[in-house]
Amino acid sequence: MKKQKLSIVGMGKMGEAVAQGLMQSDLGKHFVIAGTTRTEESAQEVRDHLKIECTTDNSDAFKFSDIILLAVKPHQVEKILRANQEFIRKDQLIISICAAISTEQLSTWSGGKAAIIRTMPNTPCLIKSGVTAICAGPHAEKSHMKLAESIFGELGLVTTLEESLFDGVTGLSGCGPAYMYLIIEALSEAGVKVGISRRQATVLAAQTMLGAAKMVLDREEHPAALKDEVTTPAGCTIDGLMALEEGKLRVTLIKAVLAATKRSKLMRA
Ligand SMILES: NC(=O)c1ccc[n+]([C@@H]2O[C@H](COP(=O)([O-])OP(=O)(O)OC[C@H]3O[C@@H](n4cnc5c(N)ncnc54)[C@H](OP(=O)(O)O)[C@@H]3O)[C@@H](O)[C@H]2O)c1
């Protein structure tokens, strides 16, 4: 079977994560992966690091690729697509990972011919533990969606969602790793306060978060039921939970997601 050419326009953190995840997987054998960057310096770094073709010429990527993965900053997308509109064909698939850019905008800016898919991954994709929301845009068929699902499936979990929910996804799982790091950092500080070394406290906090997350996903139980399992009557956990309720942890986290969702909406306006 002929390999498909997949060009990643924007080989930054996320672009590299996708390239690396694919290259380390069986699926990667079906693609010739290449990338572009803005500066020659970054292109050279990618060539050295990943041993793939990487240039600063986006037009080649649009002319010669079957799949184009857009991984530049959101404000750069319109300019890049409009500049390369003349090269974009009906038989191509454009997958975007860019926050706030709608499938309608992607389709309009790219000339309306190519199939469009929008995704929202997160940084744990770097270690194949990410989660990616995905939705179909203009001309995207089931086969395109299957392909995108298998690409991001190599980097973690994938879930299909309506596009109207994508700002919320950005606020929740796109930005979410930062909230989790903050919680781990705070728990680790607490460990230091009770006399544990910082390194051990960080391991205890991070592995606790990882384990709790795995319990939620593996057992498919409501988090509240799992919380109740840990909470013995008149035990220690209920005192800890009371302190969290006093500090309004729940409503604070909800507000964090709402604030980031609002920002994602504003980025498009
Ligand atoms: N970071 C996250 O947590 C996250 C999560 C989900 C989605 N996203 C989305 O992923 C996208 C990329 O984010 P990132 O964090 O990976 O950004 P990043 O690390 O800053 O990378 C941006 C890349 O785009 C390149 N670039 C800039 N202008 C270009 C152009 N005209 N042509 C080709 N390449 C160009 C840059 O090259 P130079 O190095 O040469 O400037 C760099 O390689 C964003 O749209 C963001 O919304 C990010």
- Say yes or no: 134 and 252 in one domain: no
Q: DSSP of 167-236, one letter per residue?
A: HHHIIIIITHHHHHHHHHHHHHHHHHHTT--HHHHHHHHHHHHHHHHHHHHHH---HHHHHHHH--TTSS
Which one-letter DSSP state was computed for residue 9? E
Closest C-alpha residue for ligand 1 atom 39: 42
Which domain CATH number covers 54? 3.40.50.720
From ligand 1's centre to the CA of 62, what distance in Å?
Answer: 17
Q: In this predicted model, what pLDDT tens digit does every residue of 33-64 receive, in sequence order?
A: 999 999 999 999 999 999 999 999 999 999 99
**Residue 72 CB neighbour total at 10 angstroms:** 23
> Probe ligand 1: pick from 7, 8, 13, 36, max atoms within 8 Å of CB?
13
- Say yes or no: 17 and 150 in one domain: yes
Using the atom order of ligand 1, give the atom closest to the CA of residue 11: 43
Q: pLDDT in tens for each of the 269 residues of the chain?
A: 689 999 999 999 999 999 998 999 999 999 999 999 999 999 999 999 999 999 999 999 999 999 999 999 999 999 999 999 999 999 999 999 999 999 999 999 999 999 999 999 999 998 999 999 999 999 999 999 999 999 999 999 999 999 999 999 999 999 999 999 999 999 999 999 999 999 999 999 999 999 999 999 999 999 999 999 999 999 999 999 999 999 999 999 999 999 999 999 998 76
* pTM for the whole structure: 0.94
Closest C-alpha residue for ligand 1 atom 33: 37
- Say yes or no: 197 and 128 in one domain: no
- Say yes or no: 250 and 186 in one domain: yes
Using the atom order of ligand 1, give the atom closest to the CA of residue 98: 45
Max alpha carbon distance in the chain (Å)?
70
Last residue of a domain, one of 164, 192, 208: 164
Residue 55 exposed, middle or buried by CB count within 10 Å (0-12, 13-18, 19+): middle
Last residue of a domain, one of 142, 164, 186: 164
- Residue holding tokens 């690396």? 20
Using the atom order of ligand 1, give the atom closest to the CA of residue 177: 3
Q: Which residues line ligand 1 (CB under 6 A)?
A: 9-15, 36-39, 42, 58, 71-74, 76, 80, 97-99, 120-123, 174
Domain that holds residue 244: 174-268
Which domain CATH number covers 239? 1.10.3730.10
Name the CA dihedral angle for 55, 61, 66, 69, rounded to a multiple of 10 degrees: 80
Last residue of a domain, one of 164, 192, 214: 164
